[in-house]
Structure 1
Amino acid sequence: MVLLIENPIDPSVIYRSIQSTYSGSVVLHYAVVKQQAGSGKSTVAIEYCAADGAVAELEAINKELKQSWKLEDVLLIRRTGCLAVGDIISLVAASAPGSEEAFEACKAGISRLKKMKTITKTERYFEN
């Protein structure tokens, strides 16, 4: 399943949507807005915008993960809008019979979400 949303991601509902009786491992990764940017400036917020095709790109990533590893399910969520420090940006979740498959798929999913061409971000910094 893939979702492109503006509303906050609710961690309490994620596990129920990804777990399966055939899964011995469920791996969840939440990317969160951090205050310190790579430029050394302090981030106040990040604005994420989705271009046409963002859902299709998420679906392609989902398909790629399912084809590359033996998984029960994959859940990819990307948020759009203005996110403050501490807000959840995205979620990658993978369930599999074993932990190695789930961890590897989750790691690959994180990498792919970071490289999405249909999502742009603009950082806002504290003004001194």
Structure 2
Amino acid sequence: MRRSDESEPSTTDLTVAVDCDPPLRRADVAAFTARALAMQVRLLLAAHGMACRGMTVTATACDGRELAQTWSTDAPLSAETLAEWLSSQLEEWLAEPGLGICALRLSPQGFPMHGWSVPLRAAARL
């Protein structure tokens, strides 16, 4: 049973999304987008004085399919680690011939229990 002070905050306002125009079709180009999104979500979390231990990436392919992957870790995610994971995942998806990614969405998951937040100054360095 979860105590009321241990509930996870809503991630609705912490999701970061980008439309890709032109669509992402190459892994090297996707890596730049991955790094920018990772930094954006990290700064958003830091602005809320929060950290997360997981992330769901959802890619909308140009043919309408949604591809998704969730990662988790025991420690708060750094922007660097997230960018590496995201770049690797995008590279894997883009290996499919003809696939283009038209939109990306990052949704933080696995918020630490109450009392395990990262202060703004410390989170900005992560």
TM-score (normalised: structure 2): 0.34
TM-score (normalised: structure 1): 0.33
Structure whose residues are more often strand by fraction: 1
Structure whose residues are more often helix by fraction: 2
